[in-house]
């Protein structure tokens, strides 16, 4: 289907999208649920704002920021409905575009190393103190991405760890109390993917 035709996105998918669009809150300094795609995120795929509104997708006309995770989300939903993206990219310097890509890939590699440190620590014992998991995360960031340390205060680090542990708990991989993480139906490979997903959402926008 060419992008000249306008299928309406289902209500079920719109509800899912509203739960997955993320923005960086200036108040709490972490990713929170967003109202819709920004103009920059839409134009990053060579699309127009009116077209995306016509598809029924949620948009936020006031937001100026752009996040890679939202662009990927928009790309996936368009592909699901068979909407062909324009071949031409938005007017952006090829040098700047290449540099941004290298930066994202480098940070992605760093996030993978941090996730592996966490999984390795969790994997070696049935029970761990959440305080120790937080320390392992902070040490891994210090080792592999020291430039992020000035963007990660104690509350942000605590929020990141609590969020990923909650995600692991919902998947049945562990149980979590205020002080302890205890393995449940533990699968290190599944845990790694979930931790990676959480860290990408929180750290990529800080690069």
Average pLDDT, the chain: 83
**Is the pLDDT assigned to residue 23 strictly greater than 90?**
no
Of 38-42, 102-106, 191-195, 196-200, which gets the smallest average pLDDT?
A: 102-106
- Binning pLDDT at 50, 70 and 90, where does residue 200 land? confident
Give the pLDDT confidence score for residue 104 in this predicted structure.
55
Domains of the chain (ranges, CATH numbers): 11-80 (no CATH), 94-206 (1.10.10)
- pTM equals 0.52
> Tens digits of per-residue pLDDT, 56-104?
899 999 888 888 888 889 988 988 888 877 654 544 444 344 444 435 5
Which three-class secondary structure string do you get for the chain? CCCCCCCCCCHHHHHHHHHHCEEECCCCCCEEECCCECHHHHHCCCCCHHHHHHCCCCECCCCCCCCHHHHHHHHHHHHHCCCCCCCCCCCCCHHHHHHHHHHHHHHHHHHHHHHHHHHHHHHCCCEEEHHHHHHHHHHHHHHHCHHHHHHCCHHHHHHHHHHHHHHHHHCCCEEECCCEEEECCCCHHHHHHHHHHHHHHHHHHHC
* Mean pLDDT, rounded, for 198-205: 82
């Amino acid at each position: 289907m060419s992008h000249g035709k306008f299928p309406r996105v289902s209500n079920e998918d719109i509800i899912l999208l509203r739960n997955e669009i993320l923005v960086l809150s200036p108040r709490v300094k972490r990713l929170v649920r967003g109202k819709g795609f920004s103009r920059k995120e839409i134009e990053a795929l060579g699309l127009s704002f009116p077209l995306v509104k016509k598809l029924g997708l949620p948009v936020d006309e006031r937001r100026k920021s752009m996040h890679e995770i939202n662009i990927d989300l928009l790309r996936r939903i368009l592909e699901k409905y068979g909407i062909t993206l324009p071949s031409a990219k938005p007017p952006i310097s090829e040098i700047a575009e290449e540099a941004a890509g290298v930066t994202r890939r480098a940070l992605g590699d760093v996030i993978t190393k941090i996730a592996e440190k966490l999984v390795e620590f969790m994997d070696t014992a049935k029970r761990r103190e959440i305080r120790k998991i937080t320390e392992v995360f902070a040490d891994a960031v210090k080792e592999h991405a020291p430039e992020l340390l000035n963007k990660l205060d104690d509350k942000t680090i605590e929020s990141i760890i609590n969020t990923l542990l909650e995600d692991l708990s919902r998947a049945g991989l562990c149980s979590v109390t205020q002080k302890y993480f205890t393995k449940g139906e533990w699968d290190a490979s599944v845990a790694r993917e979930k931790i990676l997903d959480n860290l990408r959402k929180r750290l990529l926008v800080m690069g």
